[in-house]
Structure 1
């Protein structure tokens, strides 16, 4: 059981560093103002007169609607099955769930992950320090006897 706890401690400690990096970079990508950059362009929604469907894109993507209408239709066809797993995953990473804006939930999750990993690293370091001290005490007691 002791080896299992040690394995859990070290695997968790190493993995938490990578998890911390992922959470921080993900938060910075969704909130570029944290780095002093301008906010991402908000999506623009236009009505496609041929199909009667709404197309979504950024300001740059849909600047030439006539010219890029075919490309926008292809994107719409690919994501038409909004129940598909790929569309849901892509939407979650962009901060939306179907038509809802959930960036604030993603931000809260990233901040929570950052807090949990930092506190976990701190507690692991504290535990390792205590283990090292107890090992030193044991070796001193054994050498005295």
Structure 2
């Protein structure tokens, strides 16, 4: 279910060596090599961290006010903290079943087609919120349950 080629991910992991520890890079590589849905979350983490590092100075999983966020973006010159971010996908920890976006998208496209509309031109902006305790937060999208889609 990879979105990026192995070669691209290897290059990004290598580039991320400027701000990631060897253990962090190894954890990314191991997760990608395992494959499966969880690897998608690591793919995005690698890509987003790399993109942020092109604009800001990035710290990954650094201790901040009793939390360890995925990314802390700092001004390259002053070192001022600009923003803190956690990088997550709905596929983490099997949450796709609770967040049936693909099924929702297909159902809306099918209904649009029945009405004579071009379903492939529709766009979606779906809100959500995080559930769970610290360190075990998961994204919950504002979508109907899977059995109500169709």
TM-score, normalising length: structure 1: 0.26
* Structure ID, larger Rg: 1
TM-score w.r.t. length of structure 2: 0.25
Higher relative contact order by CA 8 Å / sep ≥ 6: 1 or 2? Answer: 1
